[in-house]
Amino acid sequence: MIESSGRCFASRLVVVAAAALMFVVVLPACKRKAPAVDPGYLADLEKWRVERLAELTSENGWLSVVGLSWLHPGENRFGSDAGNEVVLPGKGTPALAGTIELRQDGAVLLHPRSGTGVTVGGSPATERVLASDRTGKPDVVAVGSVRFYLIERGGKLAVRVKDPHSVRRVGFGGIRYFSVDTAYRVEGALERYPSPREVAVATVQGPEQKMLAPGIVRFQLGGRSLALEPFVSSPDDTSFFFVFRDATSGSETYGAGRFLDAPAPEPGSTRVVLDFNRAYSPPCAFTPYATCPLPPRQNELPVRIEAGEKFSGAH
């Protein structure tokens, strides 16, 4: 369980997030007369920001990720020794805690060393097959202060390592935002492809990821005609996922781009609401051990999207 100090830390950040939202709404009034914003909209946005911050700073959030190791066929040693294929940097971790065997048939076997305190799902570990996140619920292996599990990306397997005491999590200073501006909440129209297209999406590290693109969403912003291609996990998905870059990327916002979620159109409709006040930084903005998709060329917007999350430059 997370220590009480960790809970207080996350709670303080939640309070800071709520206060920060109110601050950024009021501050622009000193520069220009901002249009009135519906209180209900602000309350809903504040709730979303608080929940995102709580998830990010939780002991299982992205700030706790401290390692990513791609497995090679055969034995992969794990432990604190820097010469291991899977290095576990947490406190109290044995130099060699065991091995992870990637077999030719794709199965992954855990071989823990006796006396090292390795557990799986909270129980003492024995030799066993490990499930990856492809099943939706990977087996979580713990040793010392760290835990790890298998992820599968593009047909390749890797070990993702988390430590609730990571420097990034403990020293996190919160999220900064652009001022809330409802001009960046726009309605677009989906131009559907004859059938969803499977596209190969480049990532920050690791293999390309296969995603489905249902069409193109066209919209107007600041008098300009723009378009973004959304991704879905399946043809009947009820949510669109956008990966985009704009003219603020690399300066005010994360250089590799930002993410945005939006409800998919209702059956028989093409209407898509894009609220860039909810644009958020990808996991790789908070840890170098994430496999983030990169924006496709058609999602590089030639305008400044001065809404949503900024980037502190900490990573």
pLDDT of residue 90 exceeding 80, the answer is no
pLDDT at 2 over 50: no
The verdict on 274 and 153 lying in the same domain is no
Residues 102 and 196 in one domain: no
Token pair 């998919």 in the structure block, residue = 264
- pLDDT by residue (tens digit) across 156-196? 999 999 999 999 999 999 999 999 999 999 999 999 999 99
Predicted confidence (pLDDT) at residue 201 exceeds the cutoff of 70:
yes
- Please report which confidence band the pLDDT of residue 252 belongs to, taking 50, 70 and 90 as the band edges: very high
Q: Are residues 219 and 124 in the same domain?
A: no
Give me the number of domains the chain comprises.
3
Q: Which of 143, 166, 189 is the last residue of a domain?
A: 166
- Of residues 20 and 238, more confidence is placed in 238
Range with lowest mean pLDDT among 20-24, 183-187, 250-254:
20-24
Please tell me whether residues 210 and 245 are part of one structural domain. Answer: yes
Nearby residues of 108 by Cβ (< 8 Å), 6 or more positions away: 71, 100, 101, 102, 129, 130, 132, 150, 157
Q: For the segment 175-186, what is each residue's pLDDT rounded down to a tens digit?
A: 999 999 999 999
d(CA 4, CA 117): 23
Q: Are residues 160 and 188 in the same domain?
A: no
pLDDT of residue 35: 65
Segment 76-88 shows an average pLDDT of 96
Q: What is the mean pLDDT of the chain?
A: 89
**Looking at residue 123, which CATH number applies to its domain?**
2.60.200.20
Q: pTM here?
A: 0.85
pLDDT at 37: 85
Query: Which position has the higher pLDDT, 285 or 19?
Result: 285
Give the end of a domain, one of 34, 57, 80. 57
User: Which of 22-26, 38-42, 43-47, 52-56 shows the lowest per-residue confidence on average (mean pLDDT)?
Assistant: 22-26
**Mean pLDDT across 64-92:** 95
pLDDT at 34: 55
Across 197-207, average pLDDT: 92
Residue 314: predicted pLDDT: 57
Are residue 208 and residue 291 in the same domain, yes or no? yes
**Region 255-276: what's the mean pLDDT?**
96
Contact 143, 149 (CB under 8 A): no
Q: CA 243, 248, 252, 257: dihedral to nearest 10 degrees?
A: 20
pLDDT band at 262 (very low <50, low <70, confident <90, very high): very high
Q: Are residues 188 and 264 in the same domain?
A: yes
Residue 183 sits in the same domain as residue 263:
yes
> Is 171 within a domain?
no
Domain of residue 37: give its range: 1-57
